Structure 1
Amino acid sequence: MLKPIRTKKEYKEALDKVYLLMQKDLKLNSSKYDELEILSILIENYEKKNVPIELPDPVEAIKFRLEQLGLKRSALISIIGSKSRTSEILNRKRKLSLSMIRALHKKLNIPASSLIADYSK
């Protein structure tokens, strides 16, 4: 019988069960398929309450977004300023300025919260 996930142990067991179910060729609307769907909902609910998701640092957020959009690093030159400045940002030798953060947020739709996070140079 399925029940709410309340502990880390129950969470781990649910993840293991989902992994096993996903290895099978489940038929839509079968009892095992329903079990997988319910477990997924229970896991998601537990994670929302108990598993904090850390934002990526700004450089990783930029690289990830470029990859998502299929863009090369050179696409940042028109947003950040110059080739050397872009290189400094991506190599963590320079921090993002407020104007860069605004431009990256506006033009690449990167969440501002990811761009303003502190990171080491």
Structure 2
Amino acid sequence: MDIQPIRTDDDLSKAIAEIETLWGAERGTADGDRLDVLITLVDRYEDEHYPIGPAHPVDVLKMHMEMTGRRRADLASLIGSSSRASEVLNRRRALTLDMVHKLNRHWGIPAEYLVVPYELERLAVKPVRRAADPVRKRA
């Protein structure tokens, strides 16, 4: 088994191409072992050079809703109201511990994906309209 370390993106491309040819190899065979080692090397290289941060809790919620066919109304019935669901989905209201608990218990979303702190979107502040100045009398 002649496997080289992955040090460059070119090495990465070659390893991925080989993984594609080995995909589906049986465990315990020479090809299966080669596939396992290559996947481990690719995973380590990508973690080091292309790290992916934690997903935003609202993105996790939206993705779960999309994957399970749930709608905003389903979220509203779970967390209390349609306005609250809209505020959460628009990042204007943070998920509370009670909401996280309900989403975990009823929808099976892992709580650790929902309890990540995040900043809320700020509401756009509309300029205050002032009453028109009184009409001045001309002399």
Q: Is TM (by shorter chain) over 0.5?
A: yes
Query: Are residues 36 and 25 of structure 1, via their aligned partners in 2, closer, same or farther at CA, if it must alter by over 3 Å?
Result: closer
Aligned partner of 1:83 in structure 2 is 82
Quote the RMSD (CA, aligned, Å): 3.2
Query: Are residues 95 and 48 of structure 1, via their aligned partners in 2, closer, same or farther at CA, if it must alter by over 3 Å?
Result: same
Alpha-carbon distance between aligned partners in 2 of 1:26 and 1:115, rounded to the nearest angstrom: 34
Aligned partner of 1:16 in structure 2 is 13
Give the alignment of 1:1-121 within 5 angstroms: 1-3=2-4, 5=5, 10=7, 12-21=9-18, 35-44=34-43, 46=44, 50=48, 52-121=51-120
Give, in angstroms, the shift of residue 52 of structure 1: 5.0
Alpha-carbon distance between aligned partners in 1 of 2:103 and 2:24, rounded to the nearest angstrom: 44
Give, in angstroms, the shift of residue 68 of structure 1: 2.0
Structure 2: runs of 5 or more not aligned: 121-139
Deviations, residues 40-97 of structure 1 (Å, cap 9, x unaligned): 13223x2597465422111001011112212222211121110110000000111111
Alpha-carbon distance between aligned partners in 1 of 2:109 and 2:31, rounded to the nearest angstrom: 38
Query: Residue 66 of structure 1 aligns to a residue in which SS?
Result: helix
Paired amino acid for 1:2: I
Structure with the largest fraction of helix = 1
Larger radius of gyration: 2
Count of aligned pairs: 116
Give, in angstroms, the shift of residue 33 of structure 1: 7.7
Query: Are residues 11 and 116 of structure 1, via their aligned partners in 2, closer, same or farther at CA, if it must alter by over 3 Å?
Result: farther
Q: TM-score, normalization: structure 2?
A: 0.64
How much identity, in percent, do the aligned residues show? 31
Give, in angstroms, the shift of residue 23 of structure 1: 6.4
